[in-house]
A and B are shown apart, each in its own frame.
Chain A
Amino acid sequence: MAGELVLLDFWPSPFGMRSRIALAEKGIPYEYREEDLRNKSDLLLQMNPVHKKIPVLIHNGKPVCESVIQVQYIDEVWHDKAPLIPSDPYQRAVARFWVDFIDKKIYELGSKIWKTKGEEQANAKKEFIECLKLLEGELGDKTYFGGESLGYVDVALVPFYSWFYAYEKCGDFSIEAECPKMIAWVKRCMQKESVAKSLPDQEKVYEFILQLKKVFGIE
């Protein structure tokens, strides 16, 4: 069932981290291959010709593209270990709704926080915090979004934590001050080896962002 499993990835990508966490949760061995996004490998271009993006999960030579699809695929194929997606159809629909919400909002707003200044940045920060508060509402008193164990929403959201320090420095604000419940949830997730080992150091991500800002000519 395992076969040959390769993950084409880029270390700061929160999308790649999702697949890393899912694979680690299930204890599935795989080969991690770092891509240089300024010099994409032939394999990446061949396996994801439409978007030419990471992450790409290659299972027995066949590609699965898009991180949320990879997590679902991993959950289906290795369904006997650490299930991530609820079995009840309605709970599934709720989880999918929130993953869709995270995909529509968090990355884009976070990007605006480090890429822009002035009013545009202020609006992005405000909306970003509002989105985190909505997510806090969905979490409620649960240990994880998935209940007592990590679930689909947890895996989709927690990678962005590795970018929080960068957002805070660029945006001059504190996410913990605004959303303490969110940070408490993050800390619980980070106690899991699958999460802690899949997320890069926040300072490293911040340095990476500073380099990107230079390249893009953003102050």
Chain B
Amino acid sequence: MAVVKLFGAWLSPYCYRVIWALKLKGIAYEYIEEDLSNKSPLLLQYNPIHKKIPVLLHDDKPICESTVILRYIDEIRPQNPLLPADPHERAVALFWIKFADDKSPLISKLFRTDGEEQQAVAKECFEMLEVLEEHALIGGKKFFGGDEINMVDIAFCSVAHWLGVIEDFAGLKIFEPHKFPRLNSWIQNFKSVPVIKDNLPDTDKMLVLLKRRREILLASKSS
């Protein structure tokens, strides 16, 4: 296998999506941590349009956008498939991955807003969770992927880990286990999977960084 490099940021759920996929597929890679407040010339060269992480470099060819990267990884290493083989089941999986992509930014928005704006975002988050609870986890499956995790489970990582940390930080209570029993089971199951459990950002470290970032945000808002 040619050289694989991943440009990422330790706090980003989108970066972890790619890390988990690479590990599930047994693909060796070199990880390059990016300082998002001081992006490297290489990152800007490989992702000139969005200038964001993650970026996967395979044989010096860049692939950008986490979902695009996940599908690429799944296609170049077909073992342990991350999507169903049946076209309709795959279309359903892709639907939920798109839903995750469209809604996940709400979770980081919770942390970047306050007052009325934050309340509005919290309401939207709650509605997202309701949709998942009602429509996505029917049939009593352990994971979105059935008995094993797949790309849909990976795509909802923000709900599984980042939401809880940001709630704690912001003093919010959006996800209540008794209100979302199926989702709660899924979160416990997902975070118990070894590749996930062993590769999650440390909660305490996250809280420290979130606190610092929020201070900077509020300072720039008031100035």
Contacts and interface: CB of A to CB of B under 8 A. Distances in A.
Contact of A69 (B65, B72, B98): B98
B99 A93 contact: no
A50 B131 contact: yes
A73 B71 contact: no
Contacts of B64: 97
B91 A73 contact: yes
Contact of B71 (A50, A65, A96, A134): A96
A70 B98 CA distance: 13
Interface in A59-78: 59, 62, 64-66, 68-70, 72-73, 76-77
Could you say which interface size class chain A belongs to? 20 to 34
A66 B100 CA distance: 13
A34 to B, nearest CB: 23
Contacts of B135: 49-50
Interface in A87-125: 89-90, 92-93, 96-97, 100-101
B88 A93 contact: no
Contacts, number: 57
A41 to B, nearest CB: 19
- The interface residues of chain B, by DSSP majority, are classed as helix
Describe A's contact surface by its main secondary structure.
helix
Contacts of B30: none
B72 A92 contact: yes
A134 B76 contact: no
A69 B63 contact: no
B99 A50 contact: yes
Contacts of B67: 96, 100
A90 B95 CA distance: 22
Contacts of A89: 72, 75-76
A140 to B, nearest CB: 15
Given A50-B131, A72-B94, 16 more contacts: A64-B95, A66-B98, A70-B91, A73-B87, A73-B88, A76-B87, A76-B90, A77-B87, A89-B72, A90-B58, A90-B61, A90-B63, A90-B72, A93-B72, A96-B68, A97-B63
9 contacts: A50-B135, A64-B88, A64-B95, A72-B94, A90-B72, A92-B72, A96-B68, A100-B65, A101-B49
Q: Which 7 interchain pairs have the tightest Cβ spacing?
A: A89-B75, A93-B72, A64-B91, A96-B68, A93-B63, A73-B91, A76-B87
